[in-house]
Amino acid sequence: MAQHGKRYTDATRRFDGQQLHSPAEALDIIKTLPATKFDESVELAVRLGVDPRKADQMVRGTVSLPSGSGKTVRVAVFAAGPAAEEARAAGADVVGADDLVEKVQNGFMDFDLAIATPDLMGQVGRLGRVLGPRGLMPNPKTGTVTADVGKAVAEFKGGRVEYRTDRYGNVHTPIGKASFDQPALLANFRAVVEELNRAKPASAKGRYIKGVTISTTMGPGIKVDASRLRPQDEVAAASA
């Protein structure tokens, strides 16, 4: 069984680990937890009522966090000609075509996100065994295969994040940093929940959002009441 440190143990004593909280309450608790020496990410974990083994129930896409992610994202862009210049102007960290494909094949992985223009996907496809396992393969569903690379670079640099269900139907998404104030984190939380509801597969049956937890990188999970995720849910709960 994993042994947790003093700070983690102290954090667990500050709230009831079994109690369900509203999103605002959970984030208020996050703000009271002992700080670390680095600015931790605040993570949202959502358990969905889907079967990711079925292609039509895979939930995947991107969402723009209105308060930003607080993370510096290193972006690589596979593009040539004017598109490459557009990517550089938008702030891409590394840009190239066949030369970048070769560089990655030789072990270069100094980036967090890869974007490609459609015309280069033939060459980028050869990197499937390298990029795929790391979740870095450009994909039209996440907006990382696009002709408008300048816009894509700006959005991902500015706080757009990818999400996808894992093999168990869980989605893990950063919603900011521990240094963010509660309203900023709450705005990001609600943006992700709204996006997940929008992306609900038509074939998903029964309860869709089955469990929600918020935590910091090194902290314990705080359970969120799945029936109180939206502002209107809070109003309904208060008037009940």
* Cβ atoms 62, 159 nearer than 8 A: no
pLDDT of residue 1: 38
Predicted confidence band of residue 6 (pLDDT cuts 50, 70, 90): confident
pLDDT of residue 65: 94
Cα separation, 225 vs 89, in Å, equals: 44
Q: What is the average pLDDT score of the chain?
A: 90
Q: Percent of the chain at pLDDT above 90?
A: 74
The total number of residues written for the chain in this structure: 240
Answer yes or no: do 196 and 80 share one domain: no
Answer yes or no: do 148 and 168 share one domain: no
Answer yes or no: do 81 and 144 share one domain: yes
Give the residue with greater pLDDT, 238 vs 154.
154
pLDDT of residue 230: 76
CA atoms within 13 A on the CB side of 92: 25
Answer yes or no: do 63 and 168 share one domain: yes
Mean of pLDDT values over 140-164? 93
Residue 212's domain comprises 14-69+160-239
87 domain residue, yes or no: yes
What CATH number is given to the structural domain containing 153? Answer: 3.40.50.790
pLDDT in tens, 30-68: 998 877 788 999 999 999 999 988 989 999 899 999 999
Answer yes or no: do 121 and 145 share one domain: yes
Cα separation, 69 vs 20, in Å, equals: 25
Q: Percent of the chain at pLDDT above 70?
A: 93
Whether the pLDDT of residue 173 is over 50: the answer is yes
Cα torsion angle, 138, 58, 156, 41, sign: negative
The total number of structural domains that make up the chain: 2
Of 121, 123, 156, residue with least CA distance to 140: 121
Answer yes or no: do 153 and 164 share one domain: no
Answer yes or no: do 95 and 141 share one domain: yes
pLDDT in tens, 177-236: 999 999 999 999 999 999 999 999 999 889 999 999 999 988 889 999 999 887 766 545
Which residues are within 8 A (CB) of 4 and not within 5 positions of it... i.e. 6 or more apart?
none
Neighbour tally for 20: CB within 10 Å? 16
Whether the pLDDT of residue 127 is over 50: the answer is yes
